[in-house]
């Protein structure tokens, strides 16, 4: 059985299409769907009314996405646990791709992220460019060290061995978990046929705040666990000196990926690129703030 776990918070605008797409999946395997919800809007009523077969796990207090995934895993009956976000829509064949990977002996498989927003929402596309350049559907199939929990599935034994997801590092808790996998000798299969459409924040202010949040979390992860850039994250004066360098470097790397794989379509939508540059400035603002808030180094 494949258990599908969805963390949700105030997802009344997106949870219906998410569940509709999962209900339409065709695969020769049993599945269950678990929504771990701490919403204050109509999300639980939408789940119960439109999809009574979905197991709804309600939390009285707002629950971060990592903790919700861990709760969902404890409720799951399947030997494979798949994760998708409440603002994502699984494309046809999503469940079949997970099933094929597990039958092929892969204990972790994830797929591509596609921007679901229209081209006239450039801030949403800037968010897509900033966060998902490594997971576009044009990239080739192969083994990788990290894929986001918006579109991934693990054998239960991996979740039990390397979990839980550390919610204190949101929204980078999946990065920490996948580093545990890597350090434990495990790798993840990237299958570009396993696709979800992700709806991003269309408001510029929301996009900038989220980039700042990601920057702070990135500094915290590097301080605690090391890796490329850890020396900068652990020394605020180096973080200050690197301010003119890192945002342009991230911009150049992002542009290179999209130019390589998307060629003539790389610049669409045009307005997303200057907003990306602005967003990376806010990302670095958060990174610098995080470098001034030391996290104790230790095991993870």
Evaluate whether 150 touches 112 at the Cβ level (below 8 Å). no
Look-up of token digits 């605690």:
224
Question: What percentage of residues in the chain have a pLDDT greater than 90?
Answer: 91
**Alpha carbon separation from 6 to 17, 65, 222 (Å, rounded):** 13, 9, 27
Domain with CATH 3.90.550.10 in the chain: 2-198
Question: What's the mean per-residue pLDDT of the chain?
Answer: 94
Q: In 3D, which of 219, 217, 206 has the Cα closest to residue 275?
A: 206
Q: Check residue 149 and give its pLDDT.
A: 96
What is the per-residue pLDDT across 7-46, written as a single tens digit (0 to 9) for each?
A: 999 999 999 999 999 999 987 779 999 999 999 999 999 9
CA-CA distances (angstroms) from residue 122 to 1, 17, 160? 39, 22, 40
Angle (CA) 118 41 15, round 5°: 45
pLDDT digits 0-9 by tens, 105-142: 999 999 999 999 999 999 999 999 999 999 999 999 99
Evaluate if residue 295 carries a pLDDT over 70: no
pLDDT at 297: 47
2-198: CATH, from 3.90.550.10, 3.30.930.10, 3.40.50.620, 3.40.50.1820: 3.90.550.10
Chain centroid to Cα 3, Å, comes to 18
**What's the N-to-C CA distance of the chain in angstroms?**
30
User: Among candidates 40, 21, 39, 23, which has minimal Cα distance to 31?
Assistant: 23
pLDDT of residue 135: 97
pTM: 0.94
- Secondary structure string (H, E, C) spanning the chain: CEEEEEEECCCCCCHHHHHHHHHCCCCCCCEEEEEEECCCCCHHHHHHHHCCCCEEEECCCCCCHHHHHHHHHHHCCCCEEEEECCCEEECCCHHHHHHHHHHCCCCEEEEEEEECCCCCCHHHHHHHHHHCHHHCCCCCCEEECCCCCCEEEEEHHHHHHHCCCCHHHCCCHHHHHHHHHHHCCCCEEEEEEEEEEECCCCCHHHHHHHHHHHHHHHHHHHHHHCCCCHHHHCCHHHHHHCCCCHHHHHHHHHHHHHHHHHHHHCCCCCCHHHHHHHHHHHHHHHHHHHHCCCCCCCCC
- CA-CA distance, 123 to 128, in Å (whole number)? 9
What is the per-residue pLDDT across 95-107, written as a single tens digit (0 to 9) for each?
999 999 999 999 9
């Amino acid at each position: 059985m494949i258990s599908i776990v969805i963390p949700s918070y105030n997802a009344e605008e997106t949870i219906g299409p998410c569940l509709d797409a999962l209900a339409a999946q065709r695969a020769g395997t049993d599945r269950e769907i678990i929504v771990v919800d701490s919403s204050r809007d109509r999300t639980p009523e939408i789940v119960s009314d439109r999809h009574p077969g979905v197991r709804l796990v309600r939390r009285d207090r707002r629950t971060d996405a990592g903790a919700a995934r861990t709760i969902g895993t404890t409720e799951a009956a399947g030997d494979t646990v798949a994760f998708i976000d409440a603002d994502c829509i699984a494309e046809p064949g999503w469940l079949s791709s997970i099933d094929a990977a597990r039958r092929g002996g892969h204990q972790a498989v994830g797929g591509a992220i596609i921007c679901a927003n229209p081209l006239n929402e450039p801030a949403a596309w800037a968010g897509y460019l900033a966060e998902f350049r490594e997971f576009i559907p044009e990239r080739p199939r192969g083994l990788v060290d990290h894929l986001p929990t918006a579109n991934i599935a693990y054998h239960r034994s991996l979740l039990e061995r390397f979990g839980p997801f550390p919610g204190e590092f949101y929204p980078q808790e999946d990065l920490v978990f996948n580093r545990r996998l890597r350090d434990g000798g495990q790798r993840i299969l990237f299958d570009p046929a396993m696709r979800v459409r992700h709806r991003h924040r269309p408001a510029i202010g929301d996009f900038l705040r989220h980039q700042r949040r990601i920057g702070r979390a990135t500094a915290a992860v590097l301080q605690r666990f090391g890796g490329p850039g850890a020396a900068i994250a652990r020394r605020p004066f180096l973080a200050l000196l690197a301010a003119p360098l890192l945002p342009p470097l991230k911009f150049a790397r992002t542009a290179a990926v999209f130019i390589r794989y998307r060629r003539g379509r790389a610049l669409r939508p045009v307005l997303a690129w200057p907003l990306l540059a602005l967003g990376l400035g806010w990302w670095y603002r958060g990174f610098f703030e995080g470098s001034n808030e030391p996290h104790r180094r230790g095991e993870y």
